[in-house]
Amino acid sequence: MENGEYSKELDMAVRVVHLACALCRRVQEGLLLVGNDLVKAKDDDSPVTIADWSVQAIVSWILSEYFGSQNVSIVAEEDVQTLSKPDSSSLLSAVVKTVNECLAEAPKYGLQSPARALKTSEILEAISRCNSTGGPTGRHWVLDPVDGTLGFVRGDQYAVALALIENGKVVMGVLGCPNYPLKKESFHYQYKAASPKLAQPCSDSLEKGCVIYAKRNCSGAWMQPLVHGNKKLEWPNSASLIQVSSIDDPALATFCEPVEKQNSNHSFTAGLAHSVGLREQPLRVYSMVKYAAIARGDAEIFMKFARTGYREKIWDHAAGVIIVEAAGGVVTDAGGRPLDFSRGVYLEGLDRGIIVCSGPILHEKIIGAVYASWDSSSL
């Protein structure tokens, strides 16, 4: 990993995301075996699992230990309200057990384990500490502990996303994608025809899972395969440079969009796709794995147009944006402006939607199509 500005922060972030991915894999295997007893619905009906809270706890604890809790401001998705309710005692116990088991493995990644098992109160405090609201000044870590929780509980795609924002600008990002097939063909096979096939052609777990990262003013975006517990891979893991696809003909381009209809208008993106000449069926994929697909050259376009009233949150985009840009791609809102991460928890001032492309030619065509078709849409 390169030296220079933010190199210490990036090194720490990559290690902690690898550790978080190992935790998520274990929890996901357990969910698929025993069912969804440990999945809760939040106030907005979105699901949350022991992995969400556990990852937030370990990231918060490790960053605070390393940089000093007084120096660490974390903007993150989860709070402890659900976890602190009287009927959540079994859930809380599971989180405490998961966090301590995970932290015991921290030395595998060159990270410090606590001297003793953390108490329930210490784990709740670590989760609660992630209560920053970001803003235009200062340094803020931005964490989505399990992005795509619905994909996670279904055994599908999800991501662990950690970014660093300084004075309103994203300066580094790390995306852990534990279920991402390392072969492009496997990814396309799984998501063609907009209906994910859960039975993957690659049964060997070594063929999936990676951590992708980038930082400002560094040479490109990098990918490491996940370290697997059953294989004695030494840390540090080997990294390879990734870059966006060179395809700029819409007829050959692959287009990704969210699975969930409540925060993405599929009919509008279908109309846009048709008007710019996209022939492929969209790949409907959970989580920020869509950003990873663009950065790795596995797809060329990701479009998201949320319905009126939906507000995009910075933790759903920060890590993905800097990684795609470092890999050579373009990310803007539908008006062609950069996304603004300086205004707190939400991407305020967003013009209609988000457009992510592998290059400027495709990007300009889609921006043009948005302007041409917007007035006739029902968004």
- Residues taking part in catalysis: 52, 149
CA dihedral 325, 239, 148, 263 (to 10 degrees): 10
CB atoms within 10 A of CB 93: 12
Distances from the Cα of 307 to the Cα of 17, 77, 171, 377, angstroms? 31, 21, 29, 11
Distances from the Cα of 325 to the Cα of 134, 204, 357, angstroms? 22, 31, 9
Terminal CA-CA length for the chain: 44
CB 335 within 8 A of CB 351: yes
Which residues, in sequence order, are bridge partners of residue 89?
none
Burial class of 22 by CB neighbour count within 10 A (0 to 12, 13 to 18, 19+): buried
- Map 26-72 to HEC letters: HHHHHHHHHCCCCEEECCCCCEEEHHHHHHHHHHHHHHHHHHCHHHC
> What is the C-alpha to C-alpha distance for residues 338 and 123, in angstroms, rounded to an integer?
37
CB atoms within 10 A of CB 229: 12
> What is the C-alpha to C-alpha distance for residues 189 and 270, in angstroms, rounded to an integer?
20
The backbone torsions φ and ψ at residue 179, rounded to the nearest 5 degrees and listed phi first, read: -105, 10
